[in-house]
Amino acid sequence: MNFYTYDYLVQQTHTVNRIQWAIMLVLFLVLLVMGFFWIRKRLDYKFKEVGILIIVLLLLLGGIQLNTYNNDQASDNQYAQMIGTLEAVAKSLQVEPNNLRMNRTDLNVDPIVESSGNFFLVRMSEDKSSYLIQEIKVRNQDEFRLVDVGGKN
State the amino acid at position 28 in one-letter form.
F
Q: Is the per-residue pLDDT at 20 higher than 80?
A: no
Q: Is the per-residue pLDDT at 17 higher than 80?
A: no
Q: Is the per-residue pLDDT at 152 higher than 60?
A: no
State whether the Cα torsion 90-102-82-153 is positive or negative.
positive
Q: What is the mean pLDDT of the chain?
A: 81
Cα separation, 84 vs 124, whole angstroms: 13
Q: Is the per-residue pLDDT at 127 higher than 80?
A: yes
Q: For residue range 44-76, list pLDDT tens digits in order.
A: 666 677 778 888 888 888 888 888 888 888 877
Q: What does pTM read for this prediction?
A: 0.63
Q: For residue range 69-111, list pLDDT tens digits in order.
A: 888 888 777 888 888 888 888 999 999 988 888 888 777 888 8
Cα separation, 103 vs 1, whole angstroms: 7
